[in-house]
Structure 1
């Protein structure tokens, strides 16, 4: 009878180890996969909420254009130099947004760095 009780307690000990391993594994997966994905979703939602007319956008198809009009879940984007190429699309199709102020700041910093390199 004593041998039977010892075997049961050993099985419970092994079960606790297995549960602990699964808990650690789930915690690791949460911090490696789920948490960064939620952070990225929040950032994308914030970016889409801050869209404005005149912003330059890149779509999931790789097209680059300028926003002309915005509704609740749709935008009208003008592509290329042809002023007649205006396409309505869902906001979710936008991958990257560049504000006009960002483009000006980037250009001015590029010019400054070129001037400094010419002086040297």
Structure 2
């Protein structure tokens, strides 16, 4: 049992070491070279737009499912409730991200020039 556990730990350590070496080999451009543009067409603003769009889509889907259950078109009350909870959790997570971003912006504003 002890040898088996030690072997698993060594295998995990070797995998982590390989991953770390792979990350060290990657070329990362300094922020000064980006000139405000994110590489590969990916930007923070676009990521936020996508997240807001997904939350909105989840909310609409949940509302449709609840309306179908209310009108008798569907008997899937459990699915409607799950969709509603998923939409609620997505919205809560988005608000937490917004709060963290706003806190970071406030901290950046407070930095001396």
Superposition TM-score, scaled by structure 2 size: 0.34
Judging by fraction of residues, say which structure has more helix.
Answer: 2
Higher strand proportion (structure 1 or 2) = 1
Larger Cα-atom Rg: 1
TM-score of the pair, normalised by structure 1: 0.32
